[in-house]
Amino acid sequence: MAYRIIKTEENPILKKISKQVTDFDEKLWTLLDDMKDTLYKADGVGLAAVQIGILKRVVVIDTGDDHGFLELINPEITERKGEQREIEGCLSLPRKSGVTLRPRWVKFKAQDRNGNWYEAEGEGLFARCVCHELDHLEGIVFTQKLAEGERVRISED
Ligand code: NI
């Protein structure tokens, strides 16, 4: 277990598309364990591997609800319903926030650390977080998903 350094927005890697995971081996498990440590240390709710400089389709999430801690490998959103406009931030964009337009509810499929497919669904923060982290895999950050008429807010510290 180890903490990894979170890349911030001036790093061009955040704009790159992450690659499918094909090997469900110890190297992946170490990455997942490190991502979990890094997520909790940073007091975040979600982290994508690209944020620590690894271009693999790997995400960890813990939005503090009944879903608990989740590992999402090669995730895909399969259903979405409704809309929500809520404030959002990102560990890679410290001090920035903004109101995004996201689905109210999403269902996704993903592989676990052994390569087994599973499905999960949720609304509110969970849905926002899933969308936000999956966007990272496409090189997209939340400031590109602002709701109409909204702008990026920058806090003092
Ligand atoms: Ni983020």
Give me ligand 1 centre to Cα 42, in Å: 12
Tens-digit pLDDT profile for residues 62-96: 999 999 999 999 999 999 999 999 999 999 999 99
61, 45 contact by CB (below 8 A): yes
Distance from Cα 13 to the centre of ligand 1, integer Å: 13
CB count, 10 Å around CB of 8? Answer: 13
Could you list the mean pLDDT of each consecutive 10-residue stretch along the chain, which spans 157 residues? 92 98 98 98 98 98 98 98 98 97 98 98 98 98 97 90
Q: CA–CA distance from 144 to each of 38, 42, 49, 81, 121 (Å)?
A: 25, 23, 19, 20, 24
Q: What is the model's pTM?
A: 0.97
Q: Give CATH for domain 12-154.
A: 3.90.45.10
CA distance 87 to 109: 25
Does residue 42 contact residue 91 with C-beta atoms inside 8 Å?
Answer: yes
Cβ atoms of residues 125 and 102 within 8 Å = no
- pLDDT at position 156: 84
In angstroms, the CA 68 to CA 28 distance is 20
> Of 10, 121, 133, 148, which is the active-site residue?
133
- In the sheet that holds 153-154, the strands lie side by side as 84-89, 96-102, 153-154
Which residue ranges make up each domain of the chain?
A: 12-154
Q: Is 133 a catalytic residue?
A: yes
Query: What distance in angstroms lies between residue 11's CA and the mean position of ligand 1's atoms?
Result: 13
